[in-house]
């Protein structure tokens, strides 16, 4: 857990949390369409946003060479820059697909990058936020891969590979991911086997929070933790387009979708569940 003294007074506004955009997957065309929807969502929430939390796996692959970043995401990056120019705080969390973030977001966009879950305080409520990979029982594949990919030597060796080759290799690897292959567990609630829920219940006995907000699982969930806390999983944006909206009075999962009507570019948001 990464220590934080972040306190967010809402002043009548809301916090918005989304994860698992997986930009870049599974191909250029579908990623570009998804990017347009994400930009529309950012415009949709901007006027009400006290802050926006991007909770990991925003990119299906991201690696920062000394002078190079992956192409294909300029409209998204430009929209983040625009929101920052409006004074809207944006917090970025690395996931297992974009854990090779360095200082580009911090230096170029003024967006802090967090590599572990952090605690924030909102209107007196304590909230734990993070992507969720490698936490709780199970998830052994990601725990193993994370040790490799966060190894400084592994990162140095990869940096020596020409970007045209390195990024092509990474895209081939990401083609084996759950989001690209629609794992049978993606849309199935695992009960007590939900490892992030188990992690929250265990942690709550040691250090209580009001909300636990994670991604990684690719399934929108709202589950009780202890006597009064709630665990939320944010779902994903390849097929579900779900996010969490938190106001002073409640937290609610929402789905961002096209509005009915003659203008196909109109969007709406409806509560999940």
pLDDT bucket at 213, cuts 50 / 70 / 90 = very high
Q: Higher model confidence: residue 259 or residue 118?
A: 118
What CATH number does the domain containing 74 carry? 3.60.21.10
Structure tokens at 246: 């938190």
Assess whether pLDDT exceeds 60 at residue 180.
no
- Taking every pair of C-alpha atoms in the chain, what is the biggest distance, in angstroms? 55
Gap between the terminal Cα atoms of the chain: 30
d(CA 92, CA 14): 17
Give the mean pLDDT of 236-250.
96
Into how many domains does the chain fold? 1
pLDDT at 196: 95
Residue 3 parent element (H or E): strand 2-7
How high does pLDDT run on average in the chain?
87
231: which strand partners?
212, 223
What percentage of residues in the chain have a pLDDT greater than 70? 86
Dihedral of CA 30/31/32/33: which sign? Answer: positive
Is the pLDDT reported for residue 224 higher than 60?
Answer: yes
Confidence bin at 265 (pLDDT 50/70/90): low
CB 41 within 8 A of CB 18: yes
Question: For the segment 47-104, what is each residue's pLDDT rounded down to a tens digit?
Answer: 999 999 999 999 998 878 778 888 889 999 999 999 999 999 999 999 887 878 888 9
83 and 52 Cβ atoms separated by less than 8 Å: yes
What does the block give as tokens for 241? 């387009």
Q: Which runs of E-coded beta strand occur in 22-124?
A: 49-55, 90-93, 113-114, 118-122
DSSP code at position 237: T
Distance (Å, whole) CA 227 – CA 94: 30
* DSSP H or E segment with residue 234: strand 229-234
Q: What is the pLDDT of residues 9-45, one digit of tens each?
A: 999 999 999 999 999 988 889 999 999 999 999 999 9
Domain of 121 in residue numbering reads as 2-271
Q: Give the pLDDT confidence score for residue 181 in this predicted structure.
A: 47
Q: What percent of the chain has pLDDT over 90?
A: 59
- Beta carbons within 8 Å of 95's beta carbon, 6+ residues apart: 19, 20, 55, 56, 57, 58, 131, 133, 215, 216
Residue with tokens 């929402």: 254
Mean pLDDT over 156-180 rounds to 67
């Amino acid at each position: 857990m990464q220590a934080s003294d972040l306190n967010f007074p809402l002043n009548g506004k809301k916090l918005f949390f989304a994860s698992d955009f997986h930009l870049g997957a599974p191909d250029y065309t579908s990623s570009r369409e998804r990017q347009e929807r994400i930009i529309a969502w950012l415009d949709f929430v901007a006027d009400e946003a006290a802050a926006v939390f991007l909770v990991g796996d925003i990119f299906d692959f991201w690696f920062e060479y000394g002078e190079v970043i992956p192409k294909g995401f300029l409209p998204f990056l430009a929209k983040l820059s625009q929101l920052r120019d409006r004074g809207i705080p944006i917090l970025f969390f690395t996931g297992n697909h974009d854990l090779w973030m360095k200082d580009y977001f911090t230096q170029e966009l003024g967006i802090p990058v967090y590599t572990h879950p952090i605690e924030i305080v909102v209107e007196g409520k304590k909230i734990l936020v993070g992507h969720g990979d490698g936490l709780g029982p199970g998830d052994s594949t990601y725990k193993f891969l994370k040790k490799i990919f966060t190894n400084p030597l592994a990162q140095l060796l990869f940096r020596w590979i020409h970007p045209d080759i390195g990024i092509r290799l990474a895209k081939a690897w990401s083609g084996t991911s759950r989001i690209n292959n629609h794992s049978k567990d993606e849309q199935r609630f695992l009960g007590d086997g939900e490892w992030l829920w188990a992690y929250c219940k265990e942690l709550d006995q040691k250090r209580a929070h009001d909300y636990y907000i994670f991604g990684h699982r690719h399934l929108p969930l709202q589950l009780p933790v202890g006597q009064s806390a709630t665990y939320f999983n944010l779902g994903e944006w390849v097929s579900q387009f779900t996010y969490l909206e938190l106001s002073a009075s409640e937290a609610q999962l929402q789905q961002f979708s096209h509005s009915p009507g003659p203008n196909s570019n109109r969007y709406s948001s409806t509560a999940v569940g």
